[in-house]
Each structure stands twice: as structure tokens, then as C-alpha cells.
């Protein structure tokens, strides 16, 4: 079933002539219950897929917002059991496909990825696993039919993009990094993002989702004609931090705005 | 035992490239520039020029007779990297990388630093080759190595204190990697040890191998034979790799000494002794981590050893048994530092003192007629304030 | 121009022995031991052994191309005494004196220190040759050179802060002389510059002449001819005398640079420029003094130049016109230090920065095709705190 | 007249079968008037000769007591005019021979030593002028018939003592330093002092006075059979410091005790 889930997300969005919207939340921030509640709010706002981040001590691809969220979760003792609990609950309550974003070392520490599958995860995003490493983790994920989402960056050469196109797991999409930098909100979408999307489109058949720095509806509109989906993390987490107890309502509205802005 | 990694930078099952996609092309570019440079006699001559005329290479191999006599065992020789310009082995690597940076047409440098020695060494070459430079340093290290912070600033480098995590070297590397991702077009990240993604481990080891190459011919000249044992401290592992590598095919025993901090059962930084394989900062290697793969905070009085990772080649050497990895507590290091200082008049870095402590123990064990070469990776000026604090706090203690 | 003093240690009308009678026999003994030693090939070989294997001699003569280019004038060469073990030229002298001490059958050392470099160098040889050691240091200098105080202590030396007078080098010397009078039987006083009673000025200059001897053959090898100008900072005058002496008979111009502190009309330490002949610390030489012969307090940001006296041979060289003596303010020195640091990646001592400032000026004046050798007498690690304070206080200023 | 003054001091004391007692005061400490008053008290106590010290910035032969006294005087602006004034007054009021103790640099700064002579000085003690330096100052002093008092120390070789005996100015005595060290009170007279006095006596015809560390009557008795005079400085200055306003009385008594103790 997982195999078709991601594919159908993009198929449905394409049919609606809009981008798939994929909000990102850190498991356990501000609490297990809140993460689940916020995921439900995303779903209510029209999100197509939920990404859950496994809090990690050394998130090298993340900017201050997600670093802080990870740290808050870790400080509250969010560990493997709690992350699995969040994944299970989010899947169950939202009914949406769930992707797990985790740095490699956390996954390497699991003898068995089965529990992820059991929790309903339908794919893995591993920010420190580039194409070059045919690391054992790929084999293990593939055995469970868990696609590993590849990244493309403005610095990726055409040759590399072609290689991504050739080697991408069935049912995966490409995570297109919109800028040179780590996660975190940016004023506007960079030219680099559009260039990358264009080059990727020519070389990759799989859907393209844009992430890193997408701050809100304007950014979504800016890429709506060039991509198939957007990933929004820091902007969402900043919003939750700002809103406190009223976060769920605000998140639902924000996601709805993103979905709206994603129409072509 | 392969002495070079495969094309992907794998040392057996260690090494590789585990970084965000954004960096991959820069690593490819660096790998290409490095390979070409090492085959280019102009580059090698330039490297040799700066090593000789600026750093002051070859560094001395000093026969520590007074210490040897005091211990009453094997003959101890000190490879005096502390006499290099800027006071540590780190400059061997930064000169090489700065020359490569120029070759790649980049003109900005960033670096992480723990003890500050690599930061100073990077700031130094940045000044020398007129490049812009920013150094990331854990806020805790900024405090305990304030001398080096000021040195970097006087060299024209911006020092950015990193407040995240344990506020030490690990976090400085995280931040440097983040900064590199954001600036990779015109900026080279000068990694300071044999760690990080390929080609860094091999490249840094290559630039540091001048230590072992010199030591090998010096000891042959001085004693007519190879040494029985090599000893070096292991933080990321660059001074150790630089000393060991040229002796790999020889019948020479080697010990890498990690920081046991307050003890192996308390807070420490003994990655190879107490860690397990994992992925940190771009490479697969031993890592200090908990059951669930969260990286642990390391602890060592010595900022340069205070790191929960280690270079991948050391992981291979450990697994293959080619090198033994020992550890040394803060207290043992301080007392070795003082002993060396008061018998030989050489005030070494706290990092190096870990190697000295092990060498003293091994000299006793091996007994006379054997010879030990110890890498004195740096000088202790940067550590006197921290030592002072330590000695004040342990006044009643057994030091 | 006589290049050696007469039997009484007189350089023309300067020098001599103006000390309490108690010390005279010790000076006789020292003079005899020194003369014998310099004629004893075993001693000379021993001195050479320690210079080469321990200090790291020969020190580099470094062609500072980046600085030269920046200035756009004469080619600047730096004699890198900062790369010596312990970080300054002072060790050239203390090794010699320690070997003499052993030869005289004494086993305790005392010394004065200003910047702390001579104290560290003495503490170092005391540790190396297992002698007891006490170093006197003005309380003000203890404050501004705290790094070196800790280094001496870690080397096992007792540092005594001197609270009298201006609490700087002059008062440390007074106290060391008093201590020597009380302990002269088993104790040698290791004077740190070309000053004090005969035979110190000649002896220290002899041990420091290795600087000029090396520089002379190095520059000949590098450029095929002698330099046009030598520049060195003058505190007591030992690094300058060591550089200059081997060139005295050559057609080479020389400038000694004194500390002008806050300006020659304000607080300064420009003894040769603004003093007049008198007797201080055992020798007749130029002295900063008032009309009635009271010694004035010197002022320099640089502790090692903060001295109202100067070695007698310099007084002779001044009177004869063989050497020109210039001066450089605190501000000029700081700005030269930063300029050198940021163009060549070399962070020199504040003392040496005085020479660098003058060299930069002279390089401009002489223009291309000329060569200047500057004595980089020490490294700047010891000064970063003081520099920091200075820069903070002059934030708005023109530095 | 000065020529015979010092000689007659020792001749008179010898005739009394006692040591000549020579107190030392620093000019201008605690004030010009006080120095003069204290010298008068010394005279009243039976002193044979007064030594006046010229305060100097860098008194290398002096211990803490005399260093501090010098510093007090300098801090009170005691300069050349004030020292000459003290010398003149002491000479006039006590009628005793007056010796000037001065570090060399101060004397070198005077173009002309005539004013010293005019102030009544009958000899010079220069602690940093050893036998080795036939410095110009000797010539200038000799031209004024001002003897320069030579020092002998426990470290002086027999040969040096003989040389002192050979070269000593007519009418001078030898200042025998009782110990290895600077001025200042010591518990007891060292063996070194007695050894020196014995060796000096065999080689020098001139009178021998002992100084440095003589703390009181006991020390004076200890050398009474070996020397011809004693110089007492730090002990006297310490006494003045302790006594404050009652110093003159105490000084007179102290000097009287010294004179008494010096009887053989
Ligand atoms: C003097 C010195 N020695 C050793 C080290 C440890 O690094 P490595 O293991 O890479 O040699 C450092 C690191 O800062 C250092 O400064
Ligand atoms: C580095 C350095 N340079 C110069 C000097 C000045 O001394 P001299 O004039 O004897 O060389 C000192 C004195 O401490 C010093 O430390």
C-alpha cells in the first residue's frame, strides 16, 4: 500500500491543478499530543502528506527554527518510543501518508526498520544521505518497500540530476532544495530554485517537491508552475511558537492558505 | 591493509560522504583539485616552500634525555610540532588547503575549531593568502581558549561563538557545515582533522603525513633504526594519522591516545574505546552515541580532544588491530604535562600531554634499549589559563 | 670602532662594573668561566647542540613577500626568532648562561623579567638542567603578562612580584640584584639583556650573536649580497646587538628602535633618544633620568621595552654613529603588529612590532631593490590580552 | 681639615677602647628638620660621626627599611638642594664629621662636587662603586680631598683586600659589609663578618668599620674586639618609624647603648 501512497498524493494534486502541500513537524515538539493535534490541523487545512522529523542532537541541515524544535523535543526526552507513537497517531488520526525525516545515525541505530513500517511510515527523508552512498540503509528500506526520497540542490550538476532520475525509488519524489543553505524561512524564493526545478524537470520523471525556506503563500505561488509539491517546515514551526495555545487554528488556516496559493 | 581509501573515500566500512546534497559538487571539485594538485610538481613545490620557509619544517625530532632518564625506560623522542609557526601541527593542513582553495578559484575560508589551534592556523593562512575567513567555535571553547580567539581576531578573522548543543567542537562543526552549505560557491571549508566527508580524511592525512615522513628519516638518522613505538593523541586524529601513516608498512607499534576525561565510566571523549560505528559530520566512523543514535556530549579538559567522533581511517585501524587505542584522563594528562614541563622545559598542549602520559607509561613497560616517538602536536600557551583553573580546583588533589 | 670591550668591560666610556663589592668576585668568576668556555670546543659544541636540537636553530629568515608588496618598497626579510622554543630570542642567552652556571658549579638561578620572555626562557633552562629558579617581575608586568607568569610557574619556577618603584622591569632588576648579593655563593644571576656589569653585556651579546651570524649567511644565500639595512627593537638591546654585531664591519646600515610610548614628549622609554649617560644597574650607559640623577620611570605598552636603561655597547654605537636609534610609539607599534599579522599571518611580540613599524617606514623610504632584515624577536601570544585592552581603550582612535 | 677628621674619630674611639659609632640617616626622612634633629640626638647619645644618605630611586644595595626611607624622602620632593641643606645643618648643629652616602648616578649628575665640600661633607660612600672602576668621580673627589670609602665584603678575596689596603685614600676607613645581602637588621652578626674582619685586619692598615645588619648593642659587642667602628642604619630608621614623635629621645638612648656596647 505504501508504494502507491506518495504517487497518489501527487496524482490527486495534479488533478486539482495545484501543488501537493507537505507540512513538516518535529515529533514531540511541543509535546507528543500537540504534534498529533497540529498534524490534524494540517490535515483539516488540506495538507496532502505529513512529514515528521525525528529530533536529532546534530541536525546539520537545519537552521535555527528546526534546531530549536529538535532541542526542545530532546530536552523533553522524546526518544524512539515517542517518535513511533507520534508517527502511529498522526497516521491514524489524519489518514494522510506520513514521511519520516531522520538523520542517518538515528536510523542506523535501529536493528530493524520494521517498526517504522508498522507505524505507518510510507517513505524516508534522510538529509545527510546523498546519492553517493549506497549505504546499507537503502537496502534495508527497499526490503520494506520504503522509498528513500532523494535530494536535489541548486549546486547539483545536470549529470547528477540525470542520475537521480535514473536511480530514484519507484513512488518517490525528489526533494528540491530551494536555495544554498539550511532550513529556515527566507524572504522570497530564490532564482536558484526556479533554475533547479527547470533543470530537474528535464531530467527526472518523478514529481518534484520544493523545500527549504518556503515561508508562506507567496513563496508557494512563486513555484506553483514549476514544481509538484512544497514542503513547509520552519514557517509552520515559527507559527506554532508564536501562537502558543491557539496554534491549531492558526496552522489550519495557514495550511489552507498554502493549498490555495498552490493552485496554478 | 589498504593504505588508501577507495574512490568513494571508504576506509573499509568507514568513511564515505554523508552530507546534504548541496555539498556534493563541492566535494567532487575538491577531490578533483586535490588529486590533480598532488600530481602537480608545481603544487608540491609550493607546498614544500611554505612548509619550509614559513612553518619552519622540518620540525625537530628531539631526544628527551632528561625525561628518559627520569622514567628509566625506553628512549623518548619528541616530534616537536609545537615549534611550528602558530604552535601546532594544524598549520601543515591549513597551508595545503589554502593552496587548494586558491587553485579552485575560491577566496573565502571557513573553519571550525576546538582548541583554537586549527582556527589560528586557518586565520593565519587566510591572512597570508589574503582570503576572507570566518571561524566557528563552541561558546564553551571560546571561554577556555580565549587566547586563541584573540589571536584569530588579530589575524583579521571573524570568530563566531556557537551556542548550540554542548557548545564545543561538535557544535562548531555543525555550524560550519551549515555555513558551508550556504556559501559553497565561493567558500572552502577548511576541515581541521582527518574527519568529515571524503576527500577530507585522506586529504588532511596527506598534508599531515609530513610529520611521519620527517620523523621516519630523523629517527633513522639519529638511531640507525626504526622506533619501537609511536604515540599520538587522537581528537579527530590528524596528528596521529600524520605520524602513523608513513610507518604503516613497518614493524612499528602504534598507540593513539584518546581523552578519558574524568574517567571512562564518567564523562569522557574516548570515541574509539567507548563508541560504536555511526555517522557523524559526513563520514561513517566510531561515534560516542546513545542507544538510539543521539550523539553524546564528549568531555575533555583539552578542547582539542573534546569530540565525540573520530576520523574514519582510525576506525579502520582499530578494527584491523594495526593501531592500539588507549585513553588518558584529564588528571593523567595534567600530571604528564607538568612532568614534561619540569624535566625538559617543554610546556606542551593539553592534547599532546595525553600522548606524553601514555608514552611515559609505555617507556616504563618497554624498558631500556627501546625507542618511542611521541607527537608533541602543539604548545601549551593556549592552555595555561585552563590549567590554572584546573589546578586551583584540584588543589587538594593528587596532581 | 672596537668590537670588543676592554678587560674591564668598557665599551669606550660605557660599560664597566658598578655594583656592590660583594658581587665583584662572582663577576670575576663569571668572566673567567665565560672566557674559558668560549675557548673550549666542548662547551661550544654543547651550546651548538642545544641551540640546534632544542631551540630549533637556525631560526628562519623569511622573505615577507606579501608585506613587501603591500608596502611597495624595499624587500623585507624577517629573522624569525619567534619560532624559537619558548617564543623569543631570549632562550639563546639563557641556554648559554645555564651551561656556564653548571660549569661554575652553581645550581640555582635567579633572573629578572619584563615581558616575561626572559623569565620563561630562564625557567625553561632551569627545568632542563634541573636547577632551582626564582624570577623577579614587576607587579605591573605580572598583571600585563600573566600568561608568561603561569608558564614560568608550570615550569617549576617561583615568580616573585616586585612592588617597589614603577613595578616594572627596572625594579625587578633592582630586586634581582639584591637577591643575588644575598645568594651569590651558589646562585647565578641570569641577566636577560646586554646590560648589567661586565661581563654580562659582552656575554649576552655573544650568545645572541647567533642571530646575526645566521642572518648574515642566510641573506647571502638568499639574495647573493648583504642587506642594506638591519632593524631591531631595543629594550636592553640584546636582540639588536645579536643581530647587528656580526655585521659591524660591513657596509650595512642599522637602526635600533626604542619605545616612544605615548610620544617622546610624553611618557616613553626612548633611553638613547632622550636620556643621557649615567650609571644604572651596574654599567655606565644612557639612562632616562632627571637633572639630579634620579632614574625616571619608563613607559611602553610593551613590557619588554619598558626600561629606562640600555646596554652600554648601544651607547657606544650611538655616540660613534655606527647605529642610528629611532623610536616608535605604542600606537605605531600596535598598528604595525596588526598590519604584519593581517598580511603575513605572523602575530609578533609588541616589542618586535616596534622594529616592524620602522622597517615599514624605511622600506618605503629606501624603495625597491633594497633589502631590509628585521629581527622578529618574539611571538605575540603573550601580548594578546594587553593588546585587547589597548584596542578596547582606543576603539574610537586611529588604529 | 676634612683629612684629619675621620682619622681623629677612630683615634679618639681607640683611645677610649671602644668602637666608633656611626649612625646613618636618610636626608629628608621623615623631613629635613627631623633628620637634623635626629642627627643631634645621635650626637647627644655619643655618636662619633654621622652618615647621611642621599635618597635615590633605585637603591640596589639597600633592604626594605632604607628603600622605604628613600622613597618617603623622594615622595616629599627631597632633591639636591634639600640634601645639601641637611648636610650643612647636621654638620653645623652636631659638630661631628659628616659622611655622605650616595649612589653613583646622583653624584655623576653634579657638575661640581664643591657644594658637598662646602656643606661640610668629609668623605663619600658610594655603594655601587667598587674598587674596579677608577671612575672619574674618584679624581674629582680626590681633587677636593674627599676620601671615597671602600667596601670589603665576605666574598672579597685576600688579594682584593690587599688591593684595598694598597689603594685606600689617606684618612679613609674600610666599610666592611657584615654579610651577604643588602642593608637591613639581622638577628645576629654572621660568622662571615668576623672572618672578613680578621682577613682584612691582616691586609689593611686603615680602620675597619662594620655595617649592614647591625641591629643593636648585642651586635656591636659581638664585633667590638674585631673592628674599629660600626655603622648602624636600618635599626635606627626602624626605631624612628616605631617611635614617631618621641623618636629623638629614643635615638639618643639607642646610640648611647651602642657606644656603651662598643667598649672592649
Ligand atoms: C595541539 C593539538 N593537538 C591535537 C589536537 C587534536 O586534533 P587531531 O586529533 O586532529 O590531531 C588538537 C586539536 O585542536 C590540537 O590543537
Ligand atoms: C620578544 C622580545 N623582544 C625584545 C625584547 C627587548 O629586549 P632586548 O632589547 O634585550 O632584545 C624583549 C624583552 O623582554 C622581548 O621579550
Q: Who has greater pLDDT, D247 or D2?
A: D247
Give chain C's mean pLDDT: 96
Structure confidence at residue A188 (pLDDT):
82
Neighbours of C43 (CB within 10 A): 18
Beta bridge partners of C110: C134, C189
Query: Which CATH number characterizes residue A44's domain?
Result: 3.20.20.70
**What's the alpha-carbon Rg for chain D, to the nearest Å?**
17
Q: B381 C-alpha to center of ligand 1: Å?
A: 14
Provide the percentage of residues in chain C whose pLDDT is more than 90. Answer: 94
User: Does residue D60 surpass a pLDDT of 80?
Assistant: yes
* C273-283 mean pLDDT: 97
Contacting partners of chain C (3+ CB pairs under 8 A): B, D
Nearest ligand, measured from the Cα of B376: 1
* C in contact with D (at least 3 C-beta pairs within 8 A): yes
pLDDT tens for each residue of D138-148: 999 999 999 99
In this structure, are strands B132-138 and B158-162 parallel, antiparallel, or unpaired? parallel
Residues of chain A falling short of pLDDT 50:
1-3
What is the predicted pLDDT for the residue at B392? 93
- Residue C154: is its pLDDT beyond 80? yes
Return the pLDDT at A189. Answer: 82
C-alpha cell at D184: 637591613
Asked whether the beta carbons of C179 and C10 are under 8 A apart, the reply is no
What ligand 2 atom has the least distance to the C-alpha of C378?
Answer: 1
Containing structural domain, residue D119: 5-261
First to last CA, chain B: 41
Has C112 been annotated as catalytic?
yes
pLDDT in tens, C110-140: 999 998 999 999 999 999 999 999 999 999 9
Tell me chain C's radius of gyration from C-alpha atoms: 19
Which residues, in sequence order, are bridge partners of residue D175?
A: D151, D209
Question: Is D258:D218 a contact under the CB 8 Å cutoff?
Answer: no
Residues contacting B45, CB < 8 A, separation 6+: none
Q: What domains does chain C contain, in order, with CATH numbers?
A: 10-51+90-204 (3.40.50.1100), 58-87+209-393 (3.40.50.1100)
**What angle (nearest 5°) sits at the alpha carbon of residue B202, between those of residues B138 and B235?**
35
Residues of C in contact with D61 (CB under 8 A): 20, 178, 181
| Secondary structure (3-state) at D162 | helix
Four-residue CA torsion sign, A237, A243, A244, A245: negative
Question: Stretch C302-316: mean pLDDT, rounded?
Answer: 96
Average pLDDT, chain B: 96
- pLDDT per residue as tens digits for the range C312-322: 999 999 999 99
B383 Cα–ligand 2 center, Å? 24
Residues 6+ apart with CB under 8 A from B311: B193, B194, B195, B201, B204, B205, B236, B237, B238, B241, B283, B285
pLDDT digits (tens, 9 = 90+) for B301-328: 999 999 999 999 999 999 999 999 999 9
Our answer on whether D and A touch (3+ beta-carbon pairs < 8 Å) is no
Ligand 2 atom with the smallest distance to the CA of C238 is: 10
What band does B1 get if pLDDT is binned at 50, 70 and 90? low
Model confidence, pTM: 0.95
Q: How far is C282 from chain D (nearest CA, A)?
A: 7
Please give the share of chain D, as a percent, with pLDDT higher than 70.
Answer: 98
Closest C-alpha to ligand 1, atom 13 = B304
Phi, psi of D158 (to 5 degrees): -55, -40
Give the mean model confidence (pLDDT) for residues D16-40.
97
Condensed to tens digits (0 to 9), the pLDDT of residues C284-299 reads 999 999 999 999 999 9
- D1 pLDDT more than 90: no
* Strands, E assignment, chain B: 10-11, 14-15, 61-63, 75-80, 108-113, 132-138, 158-162, 187-189, 229-233, 253-261, 276-280, 283-287, 324-329, 371-376
**Taking CB atoms and an 8 Å limit, are C174 and D130 in contact across chains?**
no
pLDDT tens for each residue of D149-170: 999 999 999 999 999 999 999 8
Output the DSSP codes for C272-319.
HHH-EEEEETEEEEEE-B-TTSPBPPP--SSGGG--SB--HHHHHHHH
Q: Tell me what pLDDT residue B116 has.
A: 94
C396 band by pLDDT with thresholds 50, 70 and 90: low
Task: Give the atom of ligand 2 at the shortest distance from the alpha carbon of C114.
Answer: 14
Nearby residues of C365 by Cβ (< 8 Å), 6 or more positions away: C73
User: Could you tell me if B287 and A109 are in contact, meaning their C-beta atoms sit under 8 angstroms apart?
Assistant: no
Residue C1 has pLDDT above 60, yes or no: no
pLDDT average, residue stretch C141-155: 93
Q: Is the pLDDT of residue B2 over 90?
A: no
- What pLDDT score was predicted for residue A117? 97
* Residue C2: per-residue pLDDT: 60
ipTM for the predicted complex: 0.94
Kindly indicate the confidence band of residue D186, based on its pLDDT and cuts at 50, 70 and 90.
confident
For C325-380, the DSSP string reads EEEEEHHHHHHHHHHHHHHHS--B-HHHHHHHHHHHHHHHHH-TT-EEEEEE-BBS
User: How confident is the model over B283-307, as a mean pLDDT?
Assistant: 96
Indicate if A62 belongs to the active site. yes
Number of domains into which chain A is organized: 1
- Provide the pLDDT confidence category of residue D4 given band limits of 50, 70 and 90: low
Amino acid at each position: 500500500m505504501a508504494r502507491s501512497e506518495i504517487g497518489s498524493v501527487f496524482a490527486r494534486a495534479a488533478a486539482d491543478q495545484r501543488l501537493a502541500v507537505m507540512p513538516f513537524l518535529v515529533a514531540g515538539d511541543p509535546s507528543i499530543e500537540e504534534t498529533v493535534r497540529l498534524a490534524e490541523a494540517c490535515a483539516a487545512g488540506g495538507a496532502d502528506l505529513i512529514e515528521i522529523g525525528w529530533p536529532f542532537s546534530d541536525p546539520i541541515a537545519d537552521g535555527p527554527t528546526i534546531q530549536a524544535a529538535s532541542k526542545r523535543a530532546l530536552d523533553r526526552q522524546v526518544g524512539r518510543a515517542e517518535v513511533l507513537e507520534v508517527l502511529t497517531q498522526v497516521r491514524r488520526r489524519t489518514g494522510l501518508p506520513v514521511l519520516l525525516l531522520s538523520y542517518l545515525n538515528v536510523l542506523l541505530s535501529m536493528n530493524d526498520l520494521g517498526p517504522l513500517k508498522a507505524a505507518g511510515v510510507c517513505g524516508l527523508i534522510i538529509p545527510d544521505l546523498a546519492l553517493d552512498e549506497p549505504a546499507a540503509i537503502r537496502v534495508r528500506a527497499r526490503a520494506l518497500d520504503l522509498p528513500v526520497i532523494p535530494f536535489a540542490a541548486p549546486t547539483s550538476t545536470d549529470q547528477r540530476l540525470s542520475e537521480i532520475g535514473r536511480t530514484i525509488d519507484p513512488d518517490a519524489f525528489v526533494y528540491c532544495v530551494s536555495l544554498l543553505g539550511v532550513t529556515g524561512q527566507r524572504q522570497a524564493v530564490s532564482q536558484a530554485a526556479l533554475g533547479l526545478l527547470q533543470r530537474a524537470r528535464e531530467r527526472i520523471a518523478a514529481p518534484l517537491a520544493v523545500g527549504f525556506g518556503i515561508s508562506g503563500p507567496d513563496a508557494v505561488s512563486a513555484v506553483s508552475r514549476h514544481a509538484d509539491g512544497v514542503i513547509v517546515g520552519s514557517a509552520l514551526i515559527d507559527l506554532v511558537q508564536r501562537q502558543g495555545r491557539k496554534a491549531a487554528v492558526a496552522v489550519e488556516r495557514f495550511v489552507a492558505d498554502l493549498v490555495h496559493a498552490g493552485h496554478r | 591493509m589498504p593504505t588508501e581509501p577507495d574512490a568513494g573515500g571508504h576506509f573499509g566500512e568507514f568513511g564515505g560522504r554523508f552530507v546534504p546534497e548541496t555539498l556534493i559538487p563541492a566535494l567532487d571539485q575538491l577531490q578533483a583539485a586535490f588529486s590533480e594538485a598532488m600530481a602537480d610538481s608545481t603544487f608540491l613545490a609550493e607546498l614544500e616552500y611554505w612548509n619550509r620557509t614559513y612553518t619552519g619544517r622540518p620540525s625537530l625530532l628531539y631526544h628527551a634525555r632528561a625525561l628518559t632518564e627520569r622514567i628509566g625506560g625506553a628512549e623518548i623522542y619528541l616530534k616537536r610540532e609545537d615549534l611550528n609557526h602558530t604552535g601546532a601541527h594544524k598549520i601543515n593542513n591549513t597551508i595545503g588547503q589554502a593552496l587548494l582553495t586558491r587553485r579552485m578559484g575560491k577566496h573565502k575560508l571557513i573553519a571550525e575549531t576546538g582548541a583554537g589551534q586549527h582556527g589560528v592556523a586557518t586565520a593565519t593562512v587566510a591572512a597570508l593568502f589574503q582570503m576572507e575567513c570566518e571561524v566557528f567555535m563552541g561558546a564553551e571553547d571560546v571561554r577556555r581558549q580565549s587566547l586563541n580567539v584573540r589571536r584569530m581576531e588579530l589575524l583579521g578573522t571573524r570568530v563566531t561563538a556557537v551556542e548550540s548543543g554542548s557548545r564545543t567542537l561538535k557544535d562548531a562543526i555543525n555550524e560550519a557545515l551549515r555555513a558551508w552549505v550556504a556559501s559553497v560557491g565561493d567558500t572552502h571549508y577548511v576541515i581541521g582533522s582527518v574527519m568529515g566527508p571524503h576527500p577530507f580524511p585522506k586529504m588532511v592525512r596527506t598534508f599531515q603525513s609530513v610529520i611521519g615522513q620527517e620523523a621516519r628519516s630523523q629517527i633513522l638518522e639519529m638511531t640507525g633504526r626504526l622506533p619501537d613505538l609511536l604515540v599520538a593523541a587522537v581528537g579527530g586524529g590528524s596528528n596521529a594519522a600524520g605520524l602513523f601513516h608513513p610507518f604503516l608498512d613497518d614493524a612499528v607499534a602504534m598507540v593513539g591516545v584518546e581523552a578519558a576525561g574524568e574517567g571512562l565510566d564518567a564523562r569522557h571523549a574516548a570515541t574509539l574505546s567507548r563508541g560504536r560505528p555511526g555517522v557523524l559530520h559526513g563520514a561513517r566512523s566510531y561515534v560516542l552515541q546513545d542507544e538510539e543514535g543521539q550523539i553524546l556530549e564528549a568531555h575533555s579538559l583539552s578542547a582539542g580532544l573534546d569530540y565525540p567522533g573520530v576520523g574514519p581511517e582510525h576506525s579502520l585501524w582499530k578494527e584491523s588491530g594495526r593501531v592500539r587505542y588507549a585513553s588518558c584522563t584529564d588528571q593523567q594528562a595534567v600530571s604528564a604535562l607538568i612532568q614534561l614541563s619540569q624535566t625538559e622545559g617543554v610546556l606542551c598542549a593539553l592534547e599532546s600531554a595525553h600522548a606524553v602520559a601514555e608514552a611515559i607509561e609505555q617507556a616504563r613497560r618497554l624498558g631500556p634499549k627501546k625507542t618511542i616517538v611521541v607527537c608533541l602536536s602543539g604548545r601549551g600557551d593556549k592552555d595555561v589559563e585552563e590549567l590554572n583553573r584546573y589546578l586551583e580546583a584540584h588543589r587538594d588533589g593528587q596532581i
